[in-house]
Amino acid sequence: MFPTRHATRTIESLNPLSESTSSRKPVASEPFLPEPLLDSDQAAAIMRIHPKTLQRYARQGLIRGFQLGTMWRFRASDIERWIDERMAG
């Protein structure tokens, strides 16, 4: 019913962390820089729409954003992606 070659695998063989660390290349030590978040006014100015329209789009799921209390926040990359999608279509 089931192929035997898959049944012989163990959890350890599927776990990428179980490999020896000596065979891996060292990771470059670059500092993590989080992407800046834009508020409704900043993002709407980039998109050239009213901030309330942007908030409505976010509530409808047309653009990605999240709400912290009463304030909406948007990633610059999501705004750029939304613009690119509208330009291509």
- pLDDT for residue 3 is more than 70: no
| 13-68 tens-digit pLDDT | 555 555 555 567 667 788 888 888 999 999 999 999 999 999 999 999 999 999 99
Beta bridge partners of 37: 75
Q: What is the pLDDT of residue 53?
A: 97
Angle, CA 77 vertex, CA 76 and CA 79 arms, to 5°:
65
Q: pTM for this one?
A: 0.62
Domains belonging to the chain, first-starting first, are 35-89 (1.10.10)
In the structure encoding, which two tokens stand for residue 15, read together? 């776990």
